[in-house]
Amino acid sequence: MFEIIKQDKETRARVGLLQINGRIVETPSYVVVGTKSEVKALGPDDIAATKTQMVIANTYHLWRKLKDGLNHFEGVHARIGWNGFMMTDSGGYQVFSLGARREYKDGKVIVNEHEVIERVGDLGFTRVTEEGVCFFDDGEECYLDAETSIAIQELLGADAIFVLDECTARHHGWDYTKASMRRTHRWAKRCLRAKTRSDQMLYGIVQGGPFEDLRQESTKFIGSLPFDGVAIGGHLGTKQKMQEVVDWCIPHLPREKPRHLLGIGAVDDLFNFVERGIDTFDCVIPTREARHRAIWTPEGRINIRYERHINDKSLLQDGCECFACGKLGTTKAMLADCFHANNKEGGYRATLHNVYFFNNLMEQIRAFIKEDKFLEFKNQFLANFQSR
């Protein structure tokens, strides 16, 4: 299912082939978010035109949307109308979002390391037990456990699926994180037992918060189980802490299995974590920020503003071969006008460009790894990128 075809001589960066069901992905690769088995603003032909190799759909949102219709669901590939490699997450992060994140007004990444998180009353959005998780969504009580998550994902029919885990919040201390991690380990074993389909890869998830001893314990435990791949779960810390977390985990991961980093995908992150040996990433940055008037270029992120860009006749990115730039000739002025008029064409063209930009960057990274010039490319690219 996974083969390493080139190892960088100076770093842990590597190029690999991920294969299942006749679908082949060359890694490192960006996994574009398609929450309800659709990449917002893009059609199936657009997905292919943006060099997309992988899309991840959201188990929780599809489950809640389909409800009783889940048993008759045509599958994520048919729903999206695209025959590429697809993943589904487990629903665990949504439980965190509906629980600890809301109860403590907590976020995924620390903005200020010294900020004190205070609980917003006794809200009780979630109850995490050994059996599973009870939570409320739109006034309705929901229940999710390891077996249910796997059953849902098998019905959704993606090529790769994930175990149910608990994503701890940054206010959680060592004692709670340890108990949560070990419960997540027990859920992981239950997921392995529950899995019935042989045409889906199953990824285990490493947890342990920002604690080195717990991360190493979790990595060794998950790495010892017969998963097809291993993912590293969120740390709820700074970028520097996330790099530390990955550095703690990588030496203890099986070399022969693909490694996924959940919810990470900024430009500097891609370089820093590819260097550390990560193979795939999923993140909403390309699509969500496109809908919020931001485009990405090798020089940096540009916020399209009407007052600033309405007379700017330059392309979104000079020399870009994406459909928006190369075929439609989209200028910053065009985009500014579309966004100002609330014309959906703006979000469409910005999404076309952003998704292509990130996928094309990953393609370049793979090429430079093959030439043993990854660090040279990284340093050159980020020096120009960070100068803006």
Catalytic residues: 89, 282
User: Alpha-carbon torsion 98, 99, 104, 106, what sign?
Assistant: negative
DSSP secondary structure code for residue 69 in this structure: G
Phi, psi of 56 (to 5 degrees): -115, 130
Q: Is 28 helix (H, G, I), strand (E, B) or coil?
A: coil
DSSP secondary structure code for residue 211 in this structure: -
Among residues 364, 361, 300, 295, the alpha carbon closest in space to that of 324 is found at 295
DSSP secondary structure code for residue 315 in this structure: B
Q: Is 150 helix (H, G, I), strand (E, B) or coil?
A: helix
Return the residue matching tokens 């803006």. 388
Return the residue matching tokens 């490493």. 206
Query: What is the Cα gyration radius of the chain?
Result: 21
Find residue 328's DSSP bridge partners. Answer: none
Query: The tokens of 223 are what?
Result: 């790495």
What are the distances in angstroms from CA 279 to CA 64, 259, 275, 366?
30, 5, 10, 10
Q: What residue type is assigned to position 345 of the chain?
A: E
Q: How far is CA 216 from the centre of its chain?
A: 22
